[in-house]
A and B are shown apart, each in its own frame.
Chain A
Amino acid sequence: MTAIENRVASEPVSDELALVQAAKGGDVGAFEELVRRYDRNVFRIAQHITQNREDAEDVVQDAFLKAYSNLGQFQGQSKFYTWLVRIAVNEALMKLRRRRPERMVSLDEEVKTEEDSLPREVADWSPNPEQQYSQAELRDILTRTIQGLPPSFRTVFVLRDVEGLSTEETAEALDLSIPAVKSRLLRARLQLRERLSRFFQKRESGDGTK
């Protein structure tokens, strides 16, 4: 089985550090290149966390501006992208908290560790299950399914499995321990799998209808 491939195109670190250094010195063009590299990723992460298009647009602007104004604090010990994701996640969580003040939104919320996530009913999926649906239907299913996860699970899943950050980078971006990232990732993956089974499991009749 192959490891999940990284979604962010890996750029030479020296090239990126040079851009960061130039941007620190006030070179807006160098910073614009960094924006071009990562704006799609930041937008996706922000949409997944906030579940709101306007909020996600704000997060993209606020996160890049905050990164620019605080470049002096970037020490280069982590990748620029990991540092940027950390800023974007914090901005997105603030938006989410503002929209849902009745619910505490935290990445530190308790995660159940008992065996209740053992799948109870295990149904196999059809081969190529996503092809049973149109692109729009599939997008709707995937969006609604991931929106049902608690923010702490959703965020870890998106950073690890959609954006391709490593476990260590995810831990750094979210200020979580590595075991906490792994635990949330396992539960996020299992919950998504269970919920998607409703749509993707093999049909008994085998007549190809939905």
Chain B
Amino acid sequence: MKCSEFLQELTNYLDGVLDDRTKSELEDHLAWCHNCYVVCDTTKKTIEIYRDSQLYELPDDLRTRLRSAIMSKCQAHNTQKGGGSGDV
């Protein structure tokens, strides 16, 4: 496996959806190619850092305010329609 082929499979590898044969070829490549090993390892860390980062958490007070605005608009929508929200 060449480095470019490794890169094409990287996303499938990180997502755990490779067949056994391709996975084993890829892991053979990782065993001797230090650059690809580092790319794989640091890409995995990149995903983990973003997943665990809690960027843009919705603060409780804003959450309450938004929910209350949404619900009153839904109520108004019901009133306008005179009942249900749509054609079931």
User: Which residues of chain A have a CB within 8 Å of any CB of chain B?
Assistant: 1-4, 7, 21, 23-26, 28, 31-32, 35-36, 39-40, 43-44, 47-48, 56-57, 60-61, 64-65, 68-73, 115, 117-119, 122-125, 129-130, 138-139, 142-143, 146, 157, 161-162, 164, 167, 182, 185-186, 189-190, 192-193, 196-197, 200
Contacts A129-B45, A186-B7 given; indicate if A61 touches B66 (C-beta within 8 A).
Answer: yes
Question: Number of B residues contacting the other chain (C-beta, 8 Å)?
Answer: 48
With A4-B51, A118-B4 known, 11 other A-B pairs at CB within 8 A are: A3-B16, A21-B88, A28-B71, A43-B66, A60-B66, A69-B77, A69-B85, A146-B50, A189-B11, A196-B42, A196-B49
Bound CA span A167–B16, Å: 12
B contact residues around A7 at 8 Å (CB): 51
B contact residues around A39 at 8 Å (CB): 58, 63, 66-67
- Residue among A68, A167, A182, A197 with most chain B CB within 10 A: A68
Contacts A1-B16, A117-B7, A197-B42 given; indicate if A138 touches B77 (C-beta within 8 A).
Answer: no
CB-CB contacts below 8 Å: B10-25 with A: 10-17
Bound CA span A61–B78, Å: 16
A contact residues around B46 at 8 Å (CB): 189, 192-193, 196
Which 3 A-B residue pairings sit nearest by Cβ, starting from the closest?
A72-B86, A3-B16, A47-B56
Asked if residues A142 and B50 are in contact (CB atoms below 8 Å), the reply is yes
Other-chain residue from B11, B57, B71, B86 in contact with A73 (beta carbon distance below 8 A):
B86
A contact residues around B77 at 8 Å (CB): 65, 68-69
- Closest A-chain residue to B75, C-beta based? A28
Other-chain residue from B63, B70, B84 in contact with A26 (beta carbon distance below 8 A):
B84
Give the Cβ gap from B23 to chain A, nearest Cβ, in Å: 9
- Closest A-chain residue to B35, C-beta based? A122
Asked if residues B53 and A142 are in contact (CB atoms below 8 Å), the reply is yes
Asked if residues A119 and B35 are in contact (CB atoms below 8 Å), the reply is yes
Bound CA span A100–B75, Å: 34
- Closest A-chain residue to B10, C-beta based? A186
Bound CA span A189–B50, Å: 10
B74 within 8 A of A: yes
- Closest B-chain residue to A65, C-beta based? B73
Asked if residues A26 and B58 are in contact (CB atoms below 8 Å), the reply is no
B contact residues around A124 at 8 Å (CB): 38, 41-42
**Can you report 25 A-B residue pairs in the complex whose CB atoms are below 8 A from each other?**
A1-B44, A3-B15, A4-B14, A25-B85, A25-B88, A28-B75, A39-B63, A39-B66, A40-B57, A44-B57, A60-B66, A68-B77, A69-B77, A119-B35, A125-B41, A125-B42, A125-B45, A129-B45, A129-B49, A138-B53, A142-B49, A157-B50, A162-B55, A192-B50, A193-B43
